[in-house]
């Protein structure tokens, strides 16, 4: 069960970044025929497939935000350390998408400057842009953006795992464990900077 601070942070993040609309838009986009055919071990509903695609996109937003903020605040190693882990999260989510026939080929995962912060969904692009805008204010605000991303990611992964096959649940639990570690790192960095 989340404490009140985490719950309030989640609400603040949703207000600032409009995440509720983002979830709806992602679902609408993913159900628009973005899947490739493949054999899978379980049948997923369209809603479950939309959720897999959403988590995949959310991990890219997190990585790209950390890459960009890390370039702004080069003396703060938290962003650089966590972006490496986020790359692994993206690849784990991509494997699930491919296993369940969801086409991710339109999402460029390159870490080159031309592709960082370039997102396929308009709403994901807006989310990235707003995170960067908030993070430009100061290092402390950038670290708070990181904290809010991780709190949101943990909550989204918990909800996304509901009713999923065991292989998806295992991956989401692993991603959640990573996000809990990231959250801890951001909390420590915020305490240092405050």
User: Across all residues in the chain, what is the average pLDDT?
Assistant: 81
Give per-residue pLDDT as tens, 99-147.
Answer: 999 999 878 777 777 778 877 778 878 989 999 999 999 999 999 999 9
In the predicted structure, residue 32 carries a pLDDT above the cut 70: no
In the predicted structure, residue 184 carries a pLDDT above the cut 80: yes
- pLDDT of 41: 62
Q: Copy the structure tokens of residue 40.
A: 């899978």
| Alpha-carbon torsion angle 97, 99, 103, 107, nearest 10 | 50
Q: What percentage of the chain has pLDDT greater than the value 70?
A: 79
- pLDDT of 122: 80
- pLDDT of 116: 87
Give per-residue pLDDT as tens, 3-15.
Answer: 444 334 433 443 4
Give this prediction's pTM: 0.77
In the predicted structure, residue 79 carries a pLDDT above the cut 90: yes
Could you give all domains of the chain from N- to C-terminal order, each with its CATH number? 4-193 (1.20.1260.10)
Give per-residue pLDDT as tens, 13-26.
Answer: 434 444 433 333 33
In the predicted structure, residue 176 carries a pLDDT above the cut 60: yes
Our measurement of the distance from residue 14's CA atom to the centroid of its chain's CA atoms, rounded to an integer in Å, reads: 14
Q: Which residues have C-beta within 8 Å of that of residue 80, sequence separation ≥ 6?
A: 66, 70
Give per-residue pLDDT as tens, 46-68.
Answer: 999 999 999 999 999 999 999 99
């Amino acid at each position: 069960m989340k404490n009140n601070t985490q719950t309030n942070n989640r609400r603040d993040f949703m207000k600032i970044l409009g995440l509720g609309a983002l979830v709806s838009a992602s679902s609408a986009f993913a159900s628009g025929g973005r899947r490739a055919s493949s054999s899978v071990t379980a049948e997923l509903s369209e809603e479950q497939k939309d959720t897999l695609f959403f988590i995949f996109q959310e991990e890219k937003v997190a990585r790209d935000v950390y890459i960009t903020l890390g370039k702004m605040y080069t003396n703060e190693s938290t962003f650089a350390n966590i972006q490496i882990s986020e790359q692994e999260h993206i690849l784990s989510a991509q494997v699930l998408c491919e296993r369940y026939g969801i086409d991710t080929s339109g999402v460029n995962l390159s870490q080159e400057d031309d592709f960082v912060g370039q997102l396929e969904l308009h709403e994901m692009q807006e989310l990235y842009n707003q995170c960067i805008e908030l993070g430009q204010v100061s290092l402390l605000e950038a670290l708070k953006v990181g904290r809010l991303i991780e709190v949101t990611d943990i909550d989204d992964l918990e909800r996304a795992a509901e009713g999923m096959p065991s292989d998806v649940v295992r991956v989401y639990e692993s991603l959640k464990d990573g996000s809990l570690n990231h959250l801890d790192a951001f909390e420590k960095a915020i305490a240092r900077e405050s």
